[in-house]
Amino acid sequence: MKDAGIFGMAMPRAWGGPELDLLTQFRVIETLAMADGSVGWCAMIGCDSGYLSAFLDQDVARAMYPDIWVATGAAATPTGKATCVPGGYRVAGRFPFVSGCHHSEWVWLGCIVHKDGAPRADAKGVPETRQCFLRVSQCEILDTWYTTGLRGTGSNDILVQDVFVPEEQTFSFQDPALVKRPGPLHAFPYLFIAKGPAAALGITRHVVDALIKDATTRPPADTRSVTVLKRPRCCVTRSLFRKRLGGPIRCWPASAPITSMRWKRCGRRWLRTSRHRTCNWPALPRSMPTSLACV
């Protein structure tokens, strides 16, 4: 996947990356998930490098990623502790569900900022959070991922014990000037979340393909136990089956991604809208959930 450029598909062209548009990334992830759900999931997480590196000083970020094709893991929920020290933070904590940690170069981990032994908060009492970039080699991977699904993601817990992280290798989603890089992929700070459904859609497409294959060969339940003179119909010929599946099978090409055209039009319109080009929004815009709901 690294050799194919999957993890670097959002990296900026200025660094030699492809900087693929969001819809193309969505298609890539969905197609990979059609073959294997864990592969699609790791692709979706691992390519965050191109998004999250935009939240750092660009000279610092470029130095961190001399190889733009490496994967980056994540545990965004602030379960860790970042203690203020001169020049940066000392990070400690246990971070769950770090998908792809075994093959990632970096991980970004969510922390609550502490100072003088207590969480640091703003005037309204809201705790300050900070995302810290660490090399996987600075962390301990705990063997915790035993599941019945997506086992190939290797979403183990990560343990960090008092590791120093320089200030310039951290960022905060609470920062009003979060984005440090221009371009459509960074018109909105949380745009990296929009590719999240791609893996689920790829898995769904695989399920549909398996259902169609089974339905075209297996007769309905009411003909299996009865001897009939004519050849029994398979399930796919039943009008109810076609209706529940979404229409005649011939209208749904086999093994094709199921990303809807409505989502494509909605997504393109959302990117073109001028009011979505600011990077200082405190929350998700109303059109973002609308776009994702079209998937």
Task: Output the 3-class SS for 177-221.
Answer: CCCCCCCHHHCCCCHHHHHCHHHHHHHHHHHHHHHHHHHCCCCCH
- What pLDDT is attached to residue 230? 52
Going by C-beta distance under 8 Å and a sequence separation of 6 or more, which residues neighbour residue 43? Answer: 1, 6, 7, 28, 29, 32, 33, 199
**Residue 265 pLDDT exceeds 60:** no
Per DSSP bridges, beta strands 170-171 and 156-166 are unpaired
Across residues 258-286, what is the average pLDDT?
46
Name the token pair of 95.
Answer: 């971070």
Domain ranges in the chain are 71-181
Distance, CA of 18 to CA of 11 (rounded, Å): 6
- What pLDDT is attached to residue 145? 96
* Minimum mean pLDDT range among 147-151, 199-203, 220-224: 220-224
- What pLDDT is attached to residue 295? 31
- What pLDDT is attached to residue 208? 85
- What pLDDT is attached to residue 123? 87
In percent, the amount of the chain with pLDDT more than 70 equals 74
Distance, CA of 234 to CA of 224 (rounded, Å): 11
Distance, CA of 217 to CA of 198 (rounded, Å): 29
- What pLDDT is attached to residue 274? 41
Residues 8, 68 contacting (CB under 8 angstroms): yes
- What pLDDT is attached to residue 248? 44
In percent, the amount of the chain with pLDDT more than 90 equals 67
**Residue 146 pLDDT exceeds 50:** yes
**Residue 252 pLDDT exceeds 60:** no
The chain-wide mean pLDDT, for the chain, equals 83
Per DSSP bridges, beta strands 88-98 and 71-85 are antiparallel
Helix axes 197-215, 22-35, angle to 10 degrees: 40
Fold classification of 71-181 (topology level): Butyryl-CoA Dehydrogenase, subunit A; domain 2 (2.40.110)
Give pLDDT tens digits for 173-196.
Answer: 999 999 999 999 998 899 999 999
Residues 9, 49 contacting (CB under 8 angstroms): no
Across residues 35-41, what is the average pLDDT?
96
Distance, CA of 216 to CA of 155 (rounded, Å): 37
Helix (H, G, I), strand (E, B) or coil at 129: strand
- What pLDDT is attached to residue 157? 98
Which one-letter amino acid corresponds to residue 58?
Q
Give pLDDT tens digits for 120-139.
Answer: 999 889 999 999 999 999 99
- What pLDDT is attached to residue 287? 37
